[in-house]
Chains A and B, each alone.
Chain A
Amino acid sequence: MIVNPFVVFFAAIFTNNMIFSNFLGMCSFIAVSSDIKTSIGLGQAVTFVLAITAPINYLLYHYVLVPFGLEYLRYIVFIVSIAAFVQLVEMIVERSFPALYQSLGIFLPLITVNCAILGVSLFMTIRNYNLITSTLYGLGSGLGWMLAIVALAGIKKRMKMSAVPEGLQGPGITLIITGIMALAFIGFSGIVQIS
């Protein structure tokens, strides 16, 4: 099946949003969403890492693993390459954007274990995307993740003064909000569709 790369790109942002349709990358989504500026920063970092690791893992998969018949290694190879590139990103951010580095704190290295990143690499091989589609899929997923976390941070900010029942404070109410947001995103589902 030939898919239009741009359809995939937009689908990754709206209809097949990593968070709202797959519930991937929830850990930092819940933990870093209390401040809009920080969530934009983390969103940028995730987008950046996704846009880089998607094509790299594509090349690794199709030009190294497939020719040698080692497809079964992809989980570990993807994880290792993601870990290495996150380190690289961390060094670059530390050097060039100290303020961002500070506000991200521990969450920058934690991107390594953000399952949305591994998810993108695995989905793109399962769905047989080509290089361009994979790259746009990675970029789109990142932007979609960023959209979701920034929106959540915005909602949380507005809710600061509201009286949340004690047992639901913190992650509890955040998960409920996320569920409602996911419902709202279903509204996009007629626009574009990828499996």
Chain B
Amino acid sequence: MEKILTTLLIFSLFTGFLAFLLTLAKKTIGNYGIMKVTINEETEIEMEGGDTLLSGLTEEKIFIPSACGGKGSCGYCKVTVESGGGEILPTEFGYVTPEERELGVRLSCQLKVKEPIAISIPEELFNVKEFHPTVTAITDLTPNIKHLIFTFPQGEEISFKAGQYVQLRAPKYPGNHEEVFRAYSIASSPTEHNKLELIIGLVPDGICSTYVHKHLSVGDEVAMTGPYGDFYYQESTREILMVAAGTGMAPILSILHQLKAMNSERRAIFYFGARHEEDLFFLERMKEFESDLISFEFIPSLSKPHRETDWKGQLGRVTTCLQRDLMDPCEREAYLCGSPRMIDSIVEVLIEKGIPEEFIYYDKFS
């Protein structure tokens, strides 16, 4: 008995002493003091030295896109370092291309600030805010896709460009023990500032989509940051070509709302690809847009309809439709949304059809 007690006592004293020593070391050796961060040559913030740049910026309510929450596995949190910051770390190599490395691009979640540092970030990121809206409606669009409406509390308003996205937070829930942020394109009109719609597909074993599909219900409060993204509606006189599949319809919807709000007369065609009949959704809404907008056309296309004889729309993959339809030379600009594979193949077709690369805008839902 006595032996057990002495063992316990000695061991706890010993570990306690080591813990004390380490805490002391952290306060002295690991303490870099307050560091200055200069952003875009004009804004100066101060942060705890030794912390990551991402956490320092978040503390100051400057939100850098960071889908993985700072674990160095998404590569979204890039900033350009003008001075300070030290050498690029091995953990960043996978996400920063050699060209970017030349420019000083770093992952802000890996960079620990140990000296004054100057960085530049896109001006728009200063507009990114944190929101805490409430879910006011959830509807099933297809067996795997849900449509969600969020309403912002008094005093919170979002302004975004049609096509941009927000990052939704998935908290810890049974079966998921990490908090993550995932990007979702806004599907509602940019003219609405206190309400927001998202279209979210279920990804097998996906953290955030499972949270949305299985754990989120009407009345729940969520956390999101935004708006982000350089994929948005551009003002010009070119004919608009939109291509999407599945949840990729979300940003296109927002662009259509924008066109409607402007009473636009620009010619616009929207190709929507799906596999079976049940993967199509919002056909009614598309009809409305077709009657509201003077020169808008919606072209759904099924690659594997169950009953070929009953299906009256286009048959085949979207790329095939594009190959066939884009015969006339015409000034076009394209907005594409969907999986990286789909986008790569469509971009190829569009370039072949003479649409200059700088007029092809896309968001890869990866």
Contact = CB atoms under 8 A, between A and B. Distances in A.
Interface of A: 60, 64-65, 68-70, 73, 76-77, 80-81, 84, 87-88, 91-92, 94-95, 98-99, 102, 105
A192 B236 CA distance: 85
Interface in B230-247: none
B262 to A, nearest CB: 52
A94 B25 CA distance: 12
Contact of B21 (A60, A64, A84, A92): A84
Interface in B20-42: 21-22, 25-26, 29-30, 32
A105 B87 CA distance: 13
B90 A87 contact: no
A46 B10 CA distance: 28
Contact of A88 (B6, B15, B25, B32): B25
Contacts of A76: 11
A38 to B, nearest CB: 11
Contacts of B7: 70, 73
B223 to A, nearest CB: 32
A8 B3 CA distance: 35
Contacts of A60: 14
Contact of A68 (B6, B21, B86): B6
B169 interface: no
Task: Report whether over half of chain B's contact residues are helix, strand or loop; otherwise say mixed.
Answer: helix
Nearest to A64: B10
B18 interface: yes
A96 to B, nearest CB: 9
A95 B10 contact: no
Nearest to A72: B7
27 contacts: A60-B14, A64-B10, A64-B14, A65-B10, A69-B3, A70-B6, A70-B7, A73-B11, A76-B11, A77-B11, A77-B14, A80-B15, A80-B18, A84-B18, A87-B22, A88-B22, A91-B25, A91-B26, A91-B29, A91-B30, A94-B30, A95-B30, A98-B87, A98-B114, A99-B87, A102-B89, A102-B90
Contacts of A73: 7, 10-11
Interface in B219-276: none
B117 to A, nearest CB: 14
Interface in B86-108: 86-87, 89-90
B29 A95 contact: yes
Contacts of B29: 88, 91-92, 95
Given A69-B3, A95-B30, A88 B21 contact: yes
Interchain residue pairs A-B with the least CB separation, the first 6? A84-B18, A91-B29, A91-B30, A68-B6, A105-B90, A95-B29
Contacts of A91: 25-26, 29-30
A141 B127 CA distance: 58
Contacts of A105: 89-90
Given A80-B18, A102-B86, A102-B89, 8 more contacts: A68-B10, A70-B10, A73-B11, A87-B25, A91-B29, A92-B29, A95-B29, A99-B87
Contacts of A80: 14-15, 18
A88 to B, nearest CB: 5
A57 B331 CA distance: 78
Contacts of B22: 84, 87-88
A99 B87 CA distance: 8
B289 to A, nearest CB: 53
A95 B32 CA distance: 9
A87 B11 CA distance: 19
Contacts of B10: 64-65, 68, 70, 73
Interface in B344-360: none
A37 to B, nearest CB: 14
Contacts of B30: 91, 94-95
A87 B20 CA distance: 13
B33 to A, nearest CB: 12
A65 B13 CA distance: 12
A81 B18 contact: yes
A100 to B, nearest CB: 12
A76 B10 CA distance: 12
Contacts of B3: 69
Contacts of B14: 60, 64, 77, 80-81
A81 B89 CA distance: 29
B84 to A, nearest CB: 12
Nearest to A76: B11
Contacts of B15: 80
Contacts of B87: 98-99, 102
Interface string B112-127: 0010000000000000
Nearest to A98: B86
B213 to A, nearest CB: 36
